[in-house]
Each structure stands twice: as C-alpha cells, then as structure tokens.
Amino acid sequence: MSSVRVLAGTKKGAFILSSDGKRDKWEVSGPHFGGWEIYHVKGSPVNPDRIYASQTSGWFGQVMQRSNDGGKTWETVGNKYTYDGVPGTHQWYDGTPHPWEFKRVWHLEPSLTDAETVYAGVEDAALFESTDGGTSWTELSGLRKHDSGPHWQPGAGGMCLHTIVLDPTNKERMYIAISAAGAFRSDDRGETWKPINKGLVSDLMPNPTGEVGHCVHRIAIHPSRPDTLFMQKHWHVMRSDNAGDQWEKVSGNLPTDFGFCIDVHAHEPETIYVVPIQSDSLHFPIDGALQVYRSRTGGNEWEALTKGLPQKDCYVNVLRDAMAVDRMDECGIYFGTTGGQVYCSPDGGDTWNAIRHDLPPVLSVEVQTLP
Amino acid sequence: MMEGAPAQASSVHRVRVVLPYHLRNLARVGSEIELEIAGTVTVRTVVDAVEARYPMLEGTIRDHVTKERRPFLRFFACQEDLSHDSPDAELPGEVAEGKEPLLIVGAIAGG
C-alpha cells in the first residue's frame, strides 16, 4: 500500500485529497460539482478507480455521478429512484400517516465483489440496488414493506436510510440503519429484513425498548469479525456480538455518549473511535474542545485523543458518515467537521493534523487505500 | 393558448432555452441552447426536447414520474411567469419563432 485518497462530500461540492503513505503532504482537487450538496462519495473496493457520488440540491433534486478514473472525470448516471408498487405511508412527525416520497440519496455502498453493483440508502427510507454501475436502480422493497414500515417516523434530519454495512464473509447478509426506525438485518441479500434493536433503550419513546423507533446514527464493523457490530445511537454507544440480535451499552467512561460517527481500526477489531458531542440540543463538543475517544477494549474503557485537535473555542459537529479509516500498516483515522476541517491521524489517533480547513461543512468522509 | 399566438401545430420550430447555472454545468452547455420542436410549442414539448437531448437533466427540472415542475424552478418567457400555466398551454409566438427564449429559472430562495 503506497497512497491514500480521501473522498470528502460537503454542502457545496466534493473534494478529493491525496497523499502518499506518510500522509503529511496532501494534494487537493475540487470542488467537484461546486454548489451542490454531496452527501456521500465512495469508491468500489473491487476497482478503486470506480467512484460513486450522490449529488443533490433543493432546486434540482437528485443527481448521481460516477467516475472511472479515480475522480478525475465524472459522468452522470441514473437518478430515478421509484419505490416499488404503491408506496403507502409512514408516520409523520405528528404521528399522522405521510406518503413515502423520495428526497435524496444519503449513502452509497459499493459491492465488495462487483464494481458494477452499488447500494443506495435514501430518504424517505428505502434501499435501492444498481447492478449496472448506477445506470438504473431497483428498490429492495422487502425492507420498506416490513410490517413495521407504516410506524417508522423521521428523525430531525428526515427519515433517511444512512447506513449500509455489507458482511464481507457472507454475501447474503447486510445491515442497514434508519433514523428514526432503527437497525435491520437481511440474511437473503436484501429480500427480507428483521429489526435488530433488542437491547437499545430510547428513553423518550412511548416504549423505550420498542422493536423499532430508535434513532441509530451509525453502525461499523471490522471485516475480520463480521458478527460484532458497533453502534453510535443518538444517545449511547452500543455493541453486539451476535450480528445485532442483542445489543449492550459500552459507553463506559465517555464524557457524553451522544454523537454521530463511529469506526473501527483497520487492524485491531476491538479498537473503536467516536467523537462525543455534548448533547442533542447543542450539537457541538463539550467545552468547545474537539476530542476523539478511542477504546482499545471494544468499548467501556475510553481515552481522549486531543493532540493536534482544537481544545478551545471549537463548536463544530462531526456527522455520521464523516469518519473513516485507511488500511495502511499504521492505520490512519480521518474525520470531517461541519466547520470545514478534514483531520487525519496517521498513527491510529495519537496525533492529528488538519489536512484541509475552510471547506464547506463536511457531510461525509471516505478513504481509499491504494496500491 | 396565448391570445393572439399563431397556430403552431403543423410547424417545426427552433426554440431557444436558457438554463440555470447548475443545469448548464450538468449538461455541459453554454447559457442558451437551441432545440427543434415539431408541432405545438409548450412547456411540456420544450422540456421533453431538453431531456431528450440532455438526458442527464431528466428529473432535475420536473419529476421523473409525475412530470410536475420541481417547486423551486420557474418558467419565464416574454416578461411573463408561465410557471403556473398548464404545461400543455401554447407558449408565446415569440418563443416558438425563436425571437425570445424560454427561461428556466432557479427560484431565489434560501438564506
């Protein structure tokens, strides 16, 4: 492995940041699609030059972009996301039925085995699949048609399907998460789905331990232990060691367990990272000090990582898709902020550098480790 | 149909269309495009022609399925806002004759 490519989606375009294995000098290209909200940019693990980008706008709706040369040039592909059959209704904020309406693509998850296959998580919550490189999209409607679907309700950011996790050892198994319906698992390639929210507690819900209704913010796994899931819920950091069948809280000594992002070290499956955010009312770090927390024990015992991060007057947020790890021998950790910084730690979190600042608010960060 | 507009049904028209900044970039065109429209010139036939020539614009001006105008876009021509007219209403003769463009405008909205 000799270089890395960071794919940053922002509120006003996409940026591509490239560096060699030292990760101390960066070349930046962009903005790509300037002026558009780029919710997510992600490359295919099969062909890293194949990159997909979700481009969206309140004026012009959804556009999907595809690159075949690592982000140097782009072409538009299919942007037609039609729900299967009569979409029916979910619950609106006030509990009344509200028709399913497509708004945007939040998350793109390229297949682990086929560069032409990619999944899209959309708002209003649904999962789409393309097997022709994004040209056409078909809903995997078993998810939305789950018996609980009419009871799903949007979170503050909309009813978005924002997390898609593919099991690297089992092509049949995938996980998704929806705000604010919760987490679901499929064991038949997306045909049927089961809610996997046992052990989650959401105190302000009418039924705090309900089968659905939990505001899951993000799920991450390590490829070597696909049955172990880590979750940043609205409040609470959780883990499951049985593919989501049961969750336990591992917030431990975190100063607050509200947050959005969570990720796992590339080579240490019990080393995980979160960015604690003061509360769901404040959406910025405690005391204006930006701190990543690392647990080397899969949760419960956490240490603050602060070297190189602003420790005063910092009032940014780190959104759910805005943290990623590379696969270099010394694992690099990356995150982007709503203040337009992209930080890199080339040493597993011990020290941090702002590899870019003054970008538009960062919505997503992905990293590709290139040969 | 606009009062005094010429009958258009049997003619082929060269219609000028001005796209908003972001759609120009998406279609990789300049500020104005020219399209050939056979028959009656309406918002529907013009947007049909735009989408046929520039398929990357499908879904960005109107909904893929319902064909309804996206809420933050407007259609202007000859100093008139035609956005709320029927998409099948005949556009002014000046547009059909290529003297005036149909303007597709992004609403000035947001903060």
Q: Is the pLDDT score of B101 beyond 90? A: yes
Place of tokens 């005949």: B90
Give a yes or no: residue B98 inside a domain.
yes
Total domains, chain A: 1
Query: Can you read off the two tokens belonging to residue A217?
Result: 């913010």
Q: What is the mean pLDDT of chain A?
A: 97
Give a yes or no: residue A110 inside a domain.
yes
- For residue A247, the domain's CATH number is 2.130.10.10
Residues of A with CB below 8 A from B59's CB?
Answer: 61-63, 79-80
Q: For residues A151 and A287, what is the distance between their CA atoms, to the nearest angstrom?
A: 38
Q: For residues A205 and A209, what is the distance between their CA atoms, to the nearest angstrom?
A: 8
Closest by Cα among B54, B48, B42, B49 to B67: B48
What's the confidence (pLDDT) of residue B110?
A: 57
List residues bridging with A198 in a β-sheet.
none
Give a yes or no: residue A343 inside a domain.
no
Confidence tier at A283 by pLDDT (50, 70, 90): very high
Q: For residue range A20-65, list pLDDT tens digits in order.
A: 999 999 999 999 999 999 999 999 999 999 999 999 999 999 999 9
Residues of B with CB below 8 A from A79's CB?
Answer: 58-60, 64
- For residue B29, the domain's CATH number is 3.10.20.30
Give a yes or no: residue A96 inside a domain.
yes
Residue of B54, B56, B62, B69 to mutate for A, most A C-beta atoms under 10 A: B56
Nearest CA in chain A to B66: A82
Q: Is the pLDDT score of B9 beyond 80? A: no
Q: Which of residues 10-69 of B touch A (CB under 8 A)?
A: 20-23, 26, 56, 58-61, 64-65
Length of chain A: 371
Q: Measure B9 CA to nearest chain A CA, in Å.
A: 31
What's the confidence (pLDDT) of residue A1?
A: 58
Q: For residues A151 and A95, what is the distance between their CA atoms, to the nearest angstrom?
A: 9
Q: What is the DSSP letter of B54?
A: -
Residues of B with CB below 8 A from A61's CB?
Answer: 59-60, 70
Give a yes or no: residue A26 inside a domain.
no
Give a yes or no: residue B6 inside a domain.
no
Q: Is the pLDDT score of B31 beyond 90? A: no
Closest by Cα among A154, A151, A198 to A178: A154
Torsion of CA A324, A326, A329, A330, to 10 degrees: -40
Give a yes or no: residue B4 inside a domain.
no
Q: Residue range B85-90: average pLDDT? A: 97
Q: Residue range A321-350: average pLDDT? A: 98
Percent of chain A residues topping a pLDDT of 90: 96
Give a yes or no: residue B111 inside a domain.
no
What's the confidence (pLDDT) of residue A269?
A: 98
Contact A58 B110 (CB under 8 A): yes
Residues of B with CB below 8 A from A58's CB?
Answer: 72, 109-110
Q: For residue range B50-79, list pLDDT tens digits in order.
A: 999 999 999 999 999 999 999 999 999 999
Q: Residue range A231-249: average pLDDT? A: 98
Confidence tier at B1 by pLDDT (50, 70, 90): very low
Find the range with the poorest average confidence among A152-156, A198-202, A259-263, B88-92: A152-156
Q: Which domain holds residue B20?
A: 12-106
**Other residues' Cβ atoms within 10 Å of the Cβ of residue A173:** 19
Torsion of CA A144, A148, A153, A155, to 10 degrees: -80
Q: Is the pLDDT score of A15 beyond 90? A: yes
List residues of A whose CB lies inside 8 A of any B CB.
35-36, 57-63, 76, 79-80, 82
Q: Which domain holds residue A295?
A: 36-318
Q: Is the pLDDT score of A198 beyond 60? A: yes
Residue of B24, B54, B64, B69 to mutate for A, most A C-beta atoms under 10 A: B64
Total domains, chain B: 1
What's the confidence (pLDDT) of residue A121?
A: 98
Within 8 A by CB and 6+ apart from A236, the residues are: A200, A201, A249, A251, A257
Residues of A with CB below 8 A from B64's CB?
Answer: 79-80, 82
Give a yes or no: residue B3 inside a domain.
no
Give a yes or no: residue A101 inside a domain.
yes
Q: What is the mean pLDDT of chain B?
A: 91
Confidence tier at A12 by pLDDT (50, 70, 90): very high
Q: Is the pLDDT score of A71 beyond 70? A: yes
